[in-house]
Amino acid sequence: MINLPIGLPAELVPLSWLLGVWEGRGVVEYTIGEEQVRQEFGQRVSFSHDGMPYLNYSSHTWLLESGDETGSLGSEPLVAEAGYWRLARGQAAGDPGPGMLPAVGPRPFPTAESVEALRNESEGFDIQVSLVHPTGVNELYLGQVRSARIDLATDAVMRTAGAKEYAAATRLYGLVEGDLLWAWDIAALGQELRNHASGRLSRVD
């Protein structure tokens, strides 16, 4: 059973099972030519909201020493990312923007009943996820949330001139026995889409 926080925007109800801080461990496995990279890592992920119809997301990872069974915060950071998760819909007069312009009129989809109008033919909800990496990569994912499972695929990837080659990705998230499981496939360094990393996280707050 998922307890909904007081003041949760109605549009976040389909994503509410993500809310909180999660921590655990995972493994990155990626083959480049004849070389296979394999490394275990610890991870801390946060999903929060500030009263607006999107989730704030951040992820921090760190390398684990061989034999580290605790997965505790290590001394060698690995990668980080941050972004926003929301239901996919057109912006209306009741949404703020562009820029700092305030909303005009009531907020769209103020109740769980009205959000049902956004349900897709697969009985889920289309979603958009924007992620920023400090290494010069920005990703826009499109996908859907259906019950406690999320499937995502990149619609666009932007890279700075100095970023490493990275072309596309898919991600899968699911709630299994109270834990957050995820998998991430990437097409990078001239290779087709292939397995990259996965993890299992437990809620810590």
> According to the model, what pLDDT value does residue 3 have?
59
* Distance from the Cα of residue 83 to its chain's centroid: 8
146: DSSP letter:
E
In the chain the first and final C-alpha atoms are separated, in Å, by 16
> According to the model, what pLDDT value does residue 1 have?
47
**42 — phi, psi (to 5°)?**
-100, 155
Residue for token pair 């996919």: 88
User: Within a domain: residue 147?
Assistant: yes
Residue 55: closest CA among 82, 31, 32: 82
Print pLDDT tens along the chain (205 aa).
455 666 799 999 999 999 999 999 999 999 888 889 899 999 999 999 999 999 999 999 999 986 555 555 556 999 999 999 999 999 999 999 999 999 999 999 999 999 999 999 999 999 999 999 999 999 999 999 999 999 999 999 999 999 999 999 999 999 999 999 999 999 999 999 999 999 999 999 7
User: Within a domain: residue 101?
Assistant: yes
Could you tell me what percentage of the chain is helix, strand and coil, using 3-state DSSP and rounding each to the nearest 5? Answer: 10, 55, 40
Residue 201: closest CA among 182, 186, 187: 182
User: Within a domain: residue 3?
Assistant: no
Structural domains counted in the chain: 1
Q: How many CB atoms lie within 10 A of CB 156?
A: 11
CATH number of the domain to which 57 belongs: 2.40.128.20
Return the structure tokens found at 32.
């480049």
Bridge partners of 149, per DSSP, are: 146, 174
User: Within a domain: residue 5?
Assistant: no
User: Within a domain: residue 1?
Assistant: no
User: Within a domain: residue 2?
Assistant: no
Return the structure tokens found at 20.
């909180």
> 30 lies in which domain range?
10-203
> According to the model, what pLDDT value does residue 73 have?
54
User: Within a domain: residue 22?
Assistant: yes
User: Within a domain: residue 128?
Assistant: yes
Bridge partners of 168, per DSSP, are: 187
Angle at 91 between CA 87 and CA 93, to 5 degrees: 135
